[in-house]
Amino acid sequence: MAYYNIFIAPGLPRHLHRRALRAGPSAVGSRGISQVELLTRAGFQSVVETDLTEDFLITARAWFEGREARESELRTSFGDSWFEDRQADSRAMIPAIEEGLLRRSLFVAKAM
Amino acid sequence: MTGKRQEEILKRFTDRYSLGASSALNAVETEAIGAVVGANGYTTVAQAEQLLEVLDLNPSTWLLDIGAGRGWPGLYLSERSECCAVVTDIPRPAIAAAHARAEELGLAGRCHSVLASGSALPFRSASFDAVVHTDTL
């Protein structure tokens, strides 16, 4: 099994954890233990995590800046609320990644 | 996560996947992801290639992609490795788009789209050789 996962940085004080929860994608707060621990508990072996948070930031910025650059066309195609919702999500998420509140990794594990 | 919260998220994603394509959005996707592949998340083409490196996919293997949306990256992995693939998600428009994309790419013979939640997959144990999901959980 191999998967990419966005998660809240471990060990944050409560107020920063709450902020990360609000800034992240909808499923980011759906677990209370680390992915490595979750996989190990589920019986997976050879669990390897590769941190890709820098790439995550680059991609998040690219979505935001690309939409900004085509604002008029996108508002016409998809409506104002679509555009504003997406940009608002990015405006919350990008600083949270920059500040180390949100991380993204590749997890690779083998079933027993 | 509560049932009400899950319903809100499903509605949100159903609405998103119901939207059509646009040349402007395709251009943004190309800049962010590296190609127009039906993605709306953070898994780039380079990262899909990374999945190919770590999973031993070939024409005799079956891949399950959970929460694949319009089929990204499961269909791409099948296209590149010739493996068989099942892509799943819960918004109907996403699964319809994944099915259409598989046909468009000539992958319909070996790629199947299934409306299913990752928390209640309708498959027998050990049905797949490899599993991927990208920012789903």
Tens digit of each residue's pLDDT (9 = 90 or more) over A3-62: 999 999 988 999 999 999 999 987 676 556 888 998 999 999 999 999 999 999 999 999
Phi, psi dihedrals of residue B83, rounded to the nearest 5°: -75, 165
DSSP reduced 3-state for A44: coil
Instruction: Determine how β-strand B62-66 pairs with β-strand A102-110.
Output: unpaired
Per-residue pLDDT of chain B (137 residues; tens, 9 = 90+): 567 777 887 888 888 888 888 999 999 999 999 999 988 899 999 999 999 999 999 999 999 999 999 999 999 999 999 999 999 999 999 999 999 999 999 999 999 999 999 889 999 999 999 999 998 76
Contact between B69 and B40 (Cβ < 8 Å): yes
Q: Which CATH number fits domain B3-133: 3.40.50.150, 3.40.1390.10, 2.40.110.10, 3.40.50.1970?
A: 3.40.50.150
Task: Find the CB nearest B27 among A1, A6, A70.
Answer: A70
B50 to chain A: which residues are within 8 Å by CB? 106
**How many C-beta atoms lie closer than 10 Å to residue B89's C-beta?**
27
Task: Please tell me which residue of chain A has the smallest CA distance to B28.
Answer: A66
pLDDT of residue B54: 96
Contact between B135 and B42 (Cβ < 8 Å): yes
Tens digit of each residue's pLDDT (9 = 90 or more) over A59-109: 999 999 999 999 999 999 999 999 999 999 999 999 999 999 999 999 999
The size of chain A, in residues, is 112
Instruction: Determine how β-strand A45-51 pairs with β-strand A102-110.
Output: antiparallel
Sheet holding B130-134, edge to edge: A45-51, A102-110, A2-8, B130-134, B62-66, B84-89, B111-115
- B interface with A, Cβ–Cβ < 8 A, is 1, 9, 12, 19-20, 22-25, 27-29, 31-33, 42-44, 47, 50-51, 54-55, 130-137
Residue ranges and CATH numbers for the domains of chain A are: 2-110 (3.40.50.150)
What residues pair up with B89 in beta bridges, in sequence order?
A: B115
Contact between B74 and A25 (Cβ < 8 Å): no
H and E: helices and strands count for chain B: 5, 4
pLDDT of residue B2: 63
